[in-house]
Every structure is written in C-alpha cells, then in structure tokens.
Amino acid sequence: MQPPKAPFWKTLYFQVLVGIALGVLVGWLWPSFGASLKPLGDGFIKLVKMIITPVIFLTVVTGIAGMADLKAFGRVGGKAMAYFLTFSTLALVVGLVVANVVRPGDGLNVDPATLDTSAVASYVSAAKEQTVTEFVLHIIPDTAFSAFTSGQILQVLFVAILFGIALALLGTRGEKLLGTLRTLTAVVFRMVHILMYAAPIGAFGAMAFTIGEYGIGTLANLAALVATFYVTSLLFIIVVLGLVARAAGFSLLGLIRYIKDELLLVLGTSSSESAMPLLMEKLERAGCPKPIVGLVVPTGYSFNLDGTNIYMALAALFIAQATNTELSMGDQMVLMAVAILSSKGAAGVTGSGFIVLAATLSVVPAVPVAGMALILGVDRFMSECRAITNFIGNAVATIVVARWEKAVDLDQLRAAFAGKGGELTEAESDALQIEGRSDVAP
C-alpha cells in the first residue's frame, strides 16, 4: 500500500521553485541586496559538498564489497569510460557544428586589444596551473586520509575502490565491518535529507546573487550566444540522449519527471554537485545496483560533461567569430582534441566550465584568450544550462550502463518513473541503504 502523498507545498520541488522565483524577484528589484545574498547559495553548496565525500566512499565500498564477482566491477568501469568518451566527444562535435552553422559571433567585429582582460586573468592563471599529466597524478591522494579532507571526488573514488576491493577479498572476515558500513550509509543519507531542508534557501540566495550581480539586462548584449547554447543543449538532451534512452528501453521524459526535484535544485544553485547525493539515492530506488551507481555517477562528474563540452565548442567559436579570427577545419579539430582532454578535469561546480575554456584557449593560440572577457558577463547564466545538461547526461549514463549489465529490471524502472515505486518512506530508504543492493550481473 502506497503512503499518502505529501501536500504539494511540502515537496522539495515546490519549495525550491518558490526559492528560485523569489531570488529572481529580489535580484531584479533590489540588485545590491540580491548580490549580498551570495553566502546563502555558497553556504548550501558547502553543506552538500561536506556530505558528498562520505556518500561516495560508503556507496562505493559497500557496493563493491557486497558483489559476488569483482571482475564485473572492472567490466562496468570499462563500459562507463567508453560511454563517457563517446558522448563527450559527440557533444563537442554538436557544439562545433551548431557554431559553424548559426555563427552567433558574426558582426560584432571586436578588437581583442581593446578588451579589459583583468576580470578573466584569475581564470586563465587557474587554468594554467594543471596539465593533463598533473590531473592524472592528482587522482592519487598524498595520503589515504587526505582524500577525505581535500574534497576531490576522484581521489575519494580511488581510495573507496581500493578499500572496497580489499574488504571484498576478506570474505566472511569482513562481513561484520560491511554491516557496520551499511548502517553508517543509512545514517549519512538521512543527513542528506536533513540538509535538503536548506535547499530552497540556497536556491533563493544563489539566484538573487546571479540576477543582482549581473542583471537580466546583460543577457540582451549576448542573447544570440546564450539562446544558441540553450537550444543546442535542449536538442542534445531530447534527440541524442532521448535516442540513447529509447535504445536502452526507458523513457527520457520519464527519467526527467522522476528527477525533477534534483533538476530544480541544480537550476537554482548552478551546481550539479548540489544534487549528486539525491541522484545516487534515486537511481538506486529505481533499481540500479549500488556498485554501478557508486562508480558511474561520481566518475561521470569528471569525465561525462556533455553540457560543458557543448559550451566550450560554442564559446570558443563565438570568440573567434566575434574577433574576426578565421579558424580552418584543422584548427577546429585541434581545438576539439584539446577540449576533450581539458574537460576531463572539470568539476560539477559553478565556474568550472569557464576555467576549462581558458585552459583550452591557452593551448590553441589561434583563438585570442582575451576574447573570454566578452562572455564573462553571461557565463553565470549559461552555467545553469551546463549543470543541468551534465546532470541529465550522468543520470542517463548510469541507467544505460546498468542496462548493458542486465542489472536493472525495466518494469521496476518504469514503475519508479511513473511514481509507483520511486517515492520511499524514510524507513524504507534507510532499509534500502542498509540492505546494500549490489546485484551486478556476473
């Protein structure tokens, strides 16, 4: 028997929506006051980032340790990375094609020498601090414990995988510790739900800051670029990810309805990390095994950034077009190759896309880095779309990999999307975490 549904005004979806609407209103009517509310959004994101480390560690460890076949875990990782590389590259190609067809930067005739680059200097310097080799080495933490204090997702994932494999190899001797970790997982996810009470306040503060600081009027100056990016991302989600979802046997629209609360949270905070723990829990509720969710979702936050890749291709060519910089097809191919590598270090937080763009342009001298000053004013408005596209892309990737492994039942998935199995009581949610589903197909 299904528990009675809560009144709509008590749902996270409605409360975050109200927070976003009030944030836009406050930022528009009282810009200075709205800009001063930035700590509300930043504080909420810090609260969520605080809990992400234990969520990833416990989910991955309990998932791997509970598996009957460790070889399946390596197979899942290989399939996930193949998916990430394929669709991240496809997103770049889509962005390049659209930028060449629409040409949103044509007619601006900007002289790069006249641009004030002081505002983008910090982004450029941050981008130059890390090469691809350094990024790979950075996955290995200085100590096993520093991974938990640095807040680096891939470092936590690396330690969790090693710990989970070691615990699995202990066999029956590790069962007592595994049971304790599963109980601790339930406690951590209960903390996530407690923190979500602050989500409407965080969305309100973040949106009020964005509108108050940058103003809705700034969109008019670069409306062509912003509109092109939003439409391209929407088409990528509907057409590309929609076809992928259909091929895997599930409905993309059903998935979007299922994670609508999380999508609003991402929209309000401009950060896909703010909803990561909730996404992981919901995918498990829908029937995706814990090991697959624990591996694919956190890894996807660094390696499967469809929205960021579309943005980089469009923004780079927009700058080239606006400054009358001619790029041959060879130049564009080099740009895409560099972007494929540089995008792998982007985290799902506000501003990371801009830093990765700076890193890409620094390596491709044909496009003037100074041109980034043109889009700095609207980058914040595009970060919401980047984050949402990345978020949906990672949700689709997780279910697709689970389907490849024949580890998720379509009837259970469709029932969850239809609202007949996805909404659990708090007691059922705790039981799910303690139970530790890990039925990856051998």
Query: Which tens digits make up the pLDDT trace of 316-355?
Result: 898 888 888 888 888 888 888 877 776 665 544 445 667 7
Q: Report pLDDT for 5.
A: 62
Name the nearest CA neighbour of 160 among 295, 50, 278: 295
Q: Report pLDDT for 228.
A: 92
C-alpha distances in Å from residue 148, one per residue of 42, 143, 196, 288 = 20, 10, 22, 26
Q: Give CA–CA dist 68/156, Å, rounded.
A: 23
Residues 245, 397 contacting (CB under 8 angstroms): no
Q: Report pLDDT for 430.
A: 53
- What residue ranges of the chain have pLDDT lower than 70? 1-6, 8, 68, 115-135, 217-221, 342-353, 363, 420-442
What the block records as the tokens of 414 is: 């469709």
Q: Report pLDDT for 345.
A: 54
Q: Report pLDDT for 70.
A: 74
Q: Report pLDDT for 350.
A: 47
Q: Report pLDDT for 121.
A: 64
Q: What is the 3-state secondary structure (H, E, C) of 162-184?
A: HHHHHHHHCHHHHHHHHHHHHHH
Quick one: CA torsion of 206, 210, 212, 217, rounded to 10 degrees? Answer: -150
Q: Report pLDDT for 442.
A: 42
Q: Give CA–CA dist 437/441, Å, rounded.
A: 12
For the question of whether the overall pTM of this predicted structure is more than 0.75, the answer is: yes
Enumerate domains of the chain plus CATH numbers: 8-428 (1.10.3860.10)
Q: Give CA–CA dist 159/142, Å, rounded.
A: 11
Q: Report pLDDT for 329.
A: 85
